Amino acid sequence: MALLQHPGYEEEKLQRVAEQLPCREVQAGTLLALMGQPQQYSYPSIFIYGHRASGKSHVMNVLLKELELPHATVSCVECVSVALLFEQVLLSFFGCDAASLLPRSPSLSDFVRIYREQCSQSPARQTRYIVMEKAEILRDTDANLLPALLRLQELVEDNVTVILLSEIVWDTFRPNTGCFEPLLLNFPDYSKGELQQILSQDRHPSYSAEFYSSYINILLGVFYSVCRDLRELRHLAALNFSKFCEPLADGKVKETDTHKLWRNIEPHLKKAMQTVYLREVSSLQWEQIQQMEEKEAGVLRGLSAHTHVELPYYSKFLLIAAYLASYNPARTDKRFFLKHHGKIRKTNFLKKNEKTSNHLLGPKPFPLDRLLAIFYSVVDSRVAPTASIFSQISSLVTLQLLTQVSHDDQLDTPKYKCAVSLDFICAISRTVSFDIMKYLYDFL
Amino acid sequence: TPRHATPSIPSRSLPARQPGNVLEEARIRLHVSSVPESLPCREQEFQDIYSFVESKIIDGTGGCMYISGVPGTGKTATVHEVMRCLQHAADVDEIPPFTFIEINGMKMTDPHQAYVQILQKLTGHKATADHAASLLEKRFSNPAPRKESTVLLVDELDLLWTRKQNVMYNLFDWPTRRHARLVVLTIANTMDLPERIMINRVASRLGLTRMSFQPYSFKQLQQIIMSRLNKVKAFEEDALQLVSRKVAALSGDARRCLDICRRATEICEHSAAERSATGLVGMSHVMEALNEMFSSSYITAVKCASVHEQLFLRAVIAEFRRLGLEEATFQQVFVQHQALCRVEGLQPIGVSEGLAVCQRLGACRLLLLEPSRLGVLQRVRLNVSQDDVLYALKAD
């Protein structure tokens, strides 16, 4: 392992850092070189970007903690107002006395003023670091915050460096009025070999390293094509390991019998991809299923299977009518819903732009009149247009099964869209024994 | 937090130096803030305002006057001069004594602050805006023996506009009261301001006493500078004429004219250090100052841009020609840029570098851009005319 080397820090501290950062030696080395020796001035702002779980926060945390540098780590998600951000920075640099000096709703200049006062009392002997996690949220705050943070060193005249961490590239951050350009540093994704190396580190103590490593190998073989997220893979590895060990505990196979172990675990992992990975079944449920021998995994209905909604009788028909109005062209209504229509063929009936399926283009808006017309032709019995029918329409809107478009006219001619899927509407129409497929233009 | 923190300029430790040579003296005399001894070329306007205010003060009545004119035509200076003369006349008991107060719309955070400032200048009391309005209302509508006339100067009138226009209404309504003895002089830039922004009942109270200040002609500008310099021999005749002709052709702004003259003396001083000249400001100095002040900085900015920035501007124009529109997305321009790179034999740049180039041009306002979070889909427009860009790119 290539050790980190830097003249400003002790050898053993660097050794400890290197141990905690597997496969990130290059990036840590670059950062160390940028940071320089503790008392030297560093670059005003560094922007680090990389995909989720590529070790951005971890590397920064380990470096700053192990080398004992003064730092403030701020998550921009938590800081809903800039006041919280300023408070946290002052708190971790100068203690709570400084943080309490901030007025109730501080402006940027308040922060800079207090920072300067405080740092003239306790000047920096080492570079101070402000680490901003999820920096993309800074774009939505005041327009002057991001440019000011980028040149904070200049503003407060202190040895301070701002490090921004984000999953988004710098190009979409740049304010339109220009700003001080930070140094850009990319954290590349982990390769398959690196993932294997990192995941193999947290092995179970009662099994050998090779055994766990072969398990990780199988896991990556199944999941690597869909998921490269270290956190997700680690979670899956922890969940499924007990299943992998089962034949061993029963005494059926030895540790070295890789093929049999693979035969045992592979279908199990494939099922996990469809259930646990999509969060259809929670991890707790998954563990319970594994313990219950007789019950097959995946028998339990997942979250998405619970889409069945109980609706009143006429609401169901209203929803069906809305679906038909949304996905059928209005010109075809006569043919579907009138008794004595002329015989029209689909081929010469088609307009040029209607050749693509409406189900690919999404629902179209329709007026209330058309919804009611279709509703009356779909329902067999005679229904009076009472208040309850109209209130059911608006309650379908509040249930988000319908959405109202164009909010300009609420009473006169409101327009709606149907916001349910084909599977859902099929299930609904089955309960009222209505064959919706016969009425859908796309499926003729 | 310091509660009563007032920003202030640090006091100077050394006294200001006396002017050392002719050019320095000329510069001090030409400074906009130095008050001239007389106001040349505004005798007629001076006379009109003077007689208007004087007659009102002598009669003990009130009235409004609206003064308009483009910036730098001496509106404020003339009114101040009038007030100085009237004050002098009051001191020697030619006319009854009066109080003069001045408010400026630009110096107020809110139009309603006008009441507060007027009350404070009249009586020295402080009050909230509403209270001050009612106090002033009472003061101007009730009869009081031995009340002095008040002359109120309202500068930058257009900034006192509110939605209900009550500030303007009150300002013009008070002089019409019987016991008010208030003369209101209002100054704004546009001639048709009463017709454009005031509702009828406000405009009618303002009345028809209007005066407009015409821009200076070149002869007048020349006269102004001569009177300012007042026998200090620092300029050549022709140089002065050039400045005044140029300024008169563009705006007729006396302040601009003075600025250019001052800059020309500085240039003259610099060049005198190099080689011993006549010591007078000549044609060449004035030409240089005029170029500095009037030439567009955009063309210089394009000329000094980097290779890829210039190439990007060319790509923008090429894309506009292809589309026949004055707008394109970054994506489209970037394709052109890459093609141009190949034609020029340069290494094509990546998308991030291209975006950086584009956004740098946007930051110095050569391009108009949408917010950068749209990425490659942001639309690009030119902020300068295509001819200017082509001229700047061709010149080298």
CATH of the domain at A75: 3.40.50.300
In a mutational test of the B interface, the residue from A141, A172, A180 whose CB has the highest number of chain B CBs within 10 Å is A172
- Which element (helix H / strand E) includes A346? helix A346-349
A386-396 confidence digits (pLDDT tens): 999 999 999 99
What is the rounded radius of gyration, in angstroms, for the C-alpha atoms of chain B?
28
Q: Which residue has the tokens 């008794």?
A: A339
Nearest to A172 among B360, B363, B372 (CB): B372
Residue A19 and residue A10 in contact, taking contact as beta carbons nearer than 8 Å: no
Q: Read off the tokens for A239.
A: 């969940």
Same domain (yes/no): A136, A205: no
Examine residue A15 and state whether it is found in any structural domain, yes or no: no
Q: Which residue has the tokens 């923190």?
A: B5
Query: Which one of A237, A270, A305 terminates a domain?
Result: A305
Same domain (yes/no): A364, A381: yes
CA A359 to chain centroid? 27
Q: How many domains does chain A have?
A: 3
Dihedral through CA B196, CA B202, CA B207, CA B213, nearest 10? -40
Examine residue A11 and state whether it is found in any structural domain, yes or no: no
A103 and B1 in contact by Cβ < 8 A? Answer: yes
Examine residue A2 and state whether it is found in any structural domain, yes or no: no
Examine residue A343 and state whether it is found in any structural domain, yes or no: yes
Q: Note the pLDDT of residue B128.
A: 95
Residue B257 and residue B244 in contact, taking contact as beta carbons nearer than 8 Å: yes
Q: Note the pLDDT of residue A412.
A: 76
Phi-psi region of A69 (alpha: psi -120 to 50; beta: other; left: phi over 0): beta
What DSSP state is assigned to residue B148?
P
Residues in chain B closer than 8 A to A110 (CB atoms): 1
Same domain (yes/no): A381, A248: no
What amino acid is encoded at B114 in this protein?
A: A
B356 and A174 in contact by Cβ < 8 A? Answer: yes
Same domain (yes/no): A147, A104: yes
Nearest to A177 among B1, B351, B363 (CB): B363
Same domain (yes/no): A88, A142: yes
Dihedral through CA B20, CA B26, CA B29, CA B33, nearest 10? -90
Which pLDDT tens digits describe chain A residue by residue (444 residues)?
A: 456 788 888 888 888 888 888 899 899 999 999 998 888 999 999 999 999 999 999 999 999 999 999 999 999 999 999 999 999 999 998 888 888 888 888 999 999 999 999 988 888 888 999 999 999 999 998 889 999 999 999 999 899 999 999 999 999 999 999 899 999 999 999 999 999 999 998 888 888 888 899 999 999 999 999 999 999 999 999 988 888 888 888 888 888 888 888 888 888 898 888 888 888 888 888 888 777 755 555 556 666 666 678 889 999 999 999 999 999 888 888 888 887 666 655 555 555 555 667 888 899 999 999 999 999 999 888 888 899 999 999 999 999 999 988 777 777 778 999 999 998 899 899 999 999 988 888 777
Task: Using a CB–CB cutoff of 8 Å, tell me whether A170 touches chain B.
Answer: yes
| Cα–Cα separations (whole angstroms), residue A177 to A143, A180, A343, B93 | 10, 10, 65, 60
Same domain (yes/no): A289, A201: yes
Q: Note the pLDDT of residue A413.
A: 77
B41-57 confidence digits (pLDDT tens): 899 999 999 999 999 99
Residues in chain A closer than 8 A to B361 (CB atoms): none
Check whether B396 has a pLDDT greater than 50.
Answer: yes
Q: What are phi and psi of B341, to 5 degrees?
A: -60, -45
Closest CA to A276 of A200, A192, A219: A219
Residues in chain A closer than 8 A to B364 (CB atoms): 178
Examine residue A140 and state whether it is found in any structural domain, yes or no: yes
- A73 DSSP β-pair partners: A131
Examine residue A420 and state whether it is found in any structural domain, yes or no: yes
CA A77 to chain centroid? 14
How many inter-chain contacts (A to B, CB under 8 Å) are there?
34
CB atoms within 10 A of CB A210: 13
Nearest to B373 among A110, A172, A178 (CB): A172
CA distance B336 to chain A (A): 20
Same domain (yes/no): A200, A77: no
Q: Note the pLDDT of residue A346.
A: 55
Contacts of A197 (CB under 8 A, 6+ apart): A22, A23
pTM of the model: 0.84
Residue A317 and residue A379 in contact, taking contact as beta carbons nearer than 8 Å: yes
CB < 8 Å from B in window 99-118 of A: 103, 110
Describe the crossing of helices A209-223 and A192-199 by its angle, rounded to 10 degrees: 140
Residue B148 and residue B98 in contact, taking contact as beta carbons nearer than 8 Å: yes
Query: Which one of A134, A165, A186 terminates a domain?
Result: A186
Contacts of A253 (CB under 8 A, 6+ apart): A247, A260, A261, A264
Residues in chain A closer than 8 A to B359 (CB atoms): 171, 174, 176, 178
CB < 8 Å from A in window 37-96 of B: none
Same domain (yes/no): A356, A217: no
Examine residue A24 and state whether it is found in any structural domain, yes or no: no
CB atoms within 10 A of CB A63: 25
Same domain (yes/no): A210, A264: yes
B293-319 confidence digits (pLDDT tens): 888 889 999 999 999 999 999 999 999
B375 and A171 in contact by Cβ < 8 A? Answer: yes
Order of strands across the sheet that contains A366-367: A366-367, A415-418, A402-405
In a mutational test of the A interface, the residue from B330, B353, B359 whose CB has the highest number of chain A CBs within 10 Å is B359
What amino acid is encoded at B148 in this protein?
A: E
| Cα–Cα separations (whole angstroms), residue A18 to A28, A129, A192 | 8, 20, 20
Phi-psi region of A311 (alpha: psi -120 to 50; beta: other; left: phi over 0): beta
Query: Which one of A186, A216, A244 terminates a domain?
Result: A186
Same domain (yes/no): A97, A182: yes
Task: Using a CB–CB cutoff of 8 Å, tell me whether A174 touches chain B.
Answer: yes
Contacts of B286 (CB under 8 A, 6+ apart): B239, B242, B243, B260, B264
Same domain (yes/no): A223, A319: no
Same domain (yes/no): A38, A180: yes
Closest CA to B160 of B122, B128, B113: B113
- A354 DSSP β-pair partners: none
Average pLDDT, chain B: 89
**Structural domain of A143:** 34-186
ipTM of the complex: 0.83
CA distance A176 to chain B (A): 6
CA–CA distance, B319 with B367 (Å, rounded to integer): 14
